[in-house]
Structure 1
Amino acid sequence: MLFEDVLEEYLYHCQAKGFTAKTMKNKRQEYKQLRLFLLEKRGINELENITAHDLKSYVRLKQKDGLQPQSIVSMFKMIKAFFNWCVKEGYLKENISKNVETPKVPKKILKGFTESEVQAMIDAFTYKNYFEARNKAIIAMLSDCGLRAMEIRGLETKNLKETTILVNGKGNKERYIFISPALKKILIRYERIKKEYFKDKHSYSKSYFLSYKGDQISHVGLDKVIKEAGIRVGIEDKRVSPHTFRHFFSVQCILNGIDIYTLSKLLGHSEISTTQRYLQSLEDFELIEKAMPSSPLMNIGRAKN
């Protein structure tokens, strides 16, 4: 069976499963590169003729091209998913990709924001105009809700209620996030200023955070807002990004007593292991502070007293 034909069927399968446009674009690009490699470098165009050795050669080629270990691992996850599907559909007897090793990814500890830095970034914006109010609300929501960049950009006004936000996450999976009184206060003022700013405009996007034209805020636009917050406060030794705010949210939740399973749901993670990676930058003193209340000896006899 032609490898190209099976790939096409699999991509329609993924589309039917509800994968995002970005994920589908990445899959198509990766599978196209793999197909060309197999055809041009290995002379293979039949699915049954592909071996683990061919896939190992493909990984080595990526390494020679200078692709970073994390990128290779992410790339090969897509390849594994395809071959796993082939086995389930009966096109192959075994998943040949399971015997292919990928490079080990060095563990990098993210240097997170402190509480004072986050508060300073929120305070760095005012309510003097729509953009200042919007930017303040964005930074506050990132800090207090731990949303992904795509989630905060795609947030629709109708999904914000009195005390909750309905978030449409990866793979179109929905989850609810609580709106704290501190965040609500900022959002109320933002909404009032937003309404005034757009009152004379005939139409604008249903998105909650808008550009000056009334369109959904772009990826570049969101990045500029976040970078501006870091510049105004003078943060130079840390990555100022949605991911770092998401990390801040995760660490604060754990330090405030939320268990990792609940946190995983709040973040929209499908696996606990993904959540655990967010917690690797807890400083030693924070771990000690967290561990003290749960000391077995300190808690012995408390129930009796």
Structure 2
Amino acid sequence: MLLEDILEEYDYFCISKGFTRKTIINKRQELKQFKRFITEKRGIVELESITTHDIKAYMRYKQKSGLKPQSIVSMMKMIRAFFSWCEKEEYIKENIAKKVELPRVPKKILKGFTTEEVTKMIHSFSYKNYFEARNKAIIAMLADTGLRAFEIRGLEAKNVKENTILVNGKGNKERYIFISPALKKILIRYERIRKEYFKDKNVNEKYYFLSYKGDQISHVGLGNIVKEAGERAGIRDKRVSPHTFRHFFAVQCILNGIDIYTLSKLLGHSDISTTQRYLQSLEDFQLIEKAMPSSPLMNIKI
């Protein structure tokens, strides 16, 4: 079978599975580069002719080009997924990409937000106009729910209920998030101001958070809102991004006694190992404080 034909079929398979547009684009770009290397550098045009050595050669080629270990791992996961699909479709006998050892990725501990910093960022916005109220609500929701950036942007108004939020996460998997009374208070005022601001205006009523045009907030737009919150709060030495708020939410949940399995469901993780990485930033003193109540001897009368 021609590699080009199989890649085209795989592309339609990914579309049918409902992968996000970003995921589809990333897969297309990576597999296009892989095909170019295999055909031009290795002289192979048929899928069955590709060996583990060819895939290793591609990985070395990427490493020599300056690609970082984390990017190499992400790239290889996409290639592994392709060959895994080929195996399931019986185009090949086994997933040869599994035999390629991935490079070790240096563990970087994310320097998370403190509760004081998050409080400052929420209070840095007021209710004096729609955009101030919207930004305050966005920052509060990021901190109190741990939603991903695209989940906040794509949040539908109909899914924000009295006490819960129905979230459409990765792979179109739905999950419910609890709205705390503290967050609800902010959302109520935001909704009232939004209704007044867009009164008699043509808007896209589908989305909960709207841009100045009355449509979905862009990826860059959300990033700018979070960045402004950090600037107003005077945060200089940390990465101020939606993901850092997600990390803050996870750490606070763990410190407040939520088990990692429940947290994994709240974050929408399909693999608990992803959730475990959030624990790496806990300071030693935080771990000690968390461990004290669970000490066996502390709970036994001796």
The TM-score, its normalising length taken from structure 2, stands at: 0.98
Moved more, 99-108 or 116-125: 99-108
Correspondence 1:269 to 2:276 = no
- Structure 2 CA distance for aligned equivalents of residues 178 and 95 of structure 1: 41
- Structure 2 CA distance for aligned equivalents of residues 222 and 179 of structure 1: 21
- Structure 2 CA distance for aligned equivalents of residues 202 and 88 of structure 1: 49
CA apart distance, 1:202:
2.6
Query: What's the counterpart of residue 294 of structure 2?
Result: 294
> Any idea what the Cα deviations from partners look like across 1:43-74, whole Å, max 9, x if unmatched?
11100100111111111111111111111101
Query: What's the counterpart of residue 6 of structure 1?
Result: 6
- Structure 1 CA distance for aligned equivalents of residues 203 and 283 of structure 2: 48
CA apart distance, 1:281:
0.2
Q: Contact between 1:205 and 1:216, CA under 8 Å: does it hold in 2?
A: no
- Structure 2 CA distance for aligned equivalents of residues 301 and 58 of structure 1: 62
Query: What's the counterpart of residue 157 of structure 1?
Result: 157
Q: Contact between 1:18 and 1:171, CA under 8 Å: does it hold in 2?
A: yes
- Structure 2 CA distance for aligned equivalents of residues 49 and 61 of structure 1: 19
Query: What's the counterpart of residue 208 of structure 2?
Result: 208
* 1:26-175 map, 5 Å: 26-175=26-175
**Secondary structure in structure 2 of the residue aligned to 1:279:** helix
Correspondence 1:224 to 2:224 = yes
Q: Which runs of 5+ in 2 are unaligned?
A: none
The TM-score, its normalising length taken from structure 1, stands at: 0.97
- Structure 1 CA distance for aligned equivalents of residues 142 and 26 of structure 2: 26
Correspondence 1:238 to 2:242 = no
Query: What's the counterpart of residue 184 of structure 1?
Result: 184
Structure 1: which 4+ aligned runs deviate by more than 2 Å?
202-205
Q: What is the number of residues matched between the two proteins?
A: 302
- Structure 1 CA distance for aligned equivalents of residues 23 and 231 of structure 2: 32
CA apart distance, 1:301:
4.3
The alignment yields a C-alpha RMSD, in angstroms, of 1.0
- Structure 2 CA distance for aligned equivalents of residues 202 and 15 of structure 1: 32
Q: Contact between 1:260 and 1:275, CA under 8 Å: does it hold in 2?
A: yes
Q: Percent identity?
A: 78
- Structure 1 CA distance for aligned equivalents of residues 190 and 167 of structure 2: 19
- Structure 2 CA distance for aligned equivalents of residues 268 and 204 of structure 1: 27
- Structure 1 CA distance for aligned equivalents of residues 265 and 90 of structure 2: 34
CA apart distance, 1:11:
1.7
CA apart distance, 1:157:
0.3
- Structure 1 CA distance for aligned equivalents of residues 223 and 213 of structure 2: 17
Q: Which runs of 5+ in 1 are unaligned?
A: none
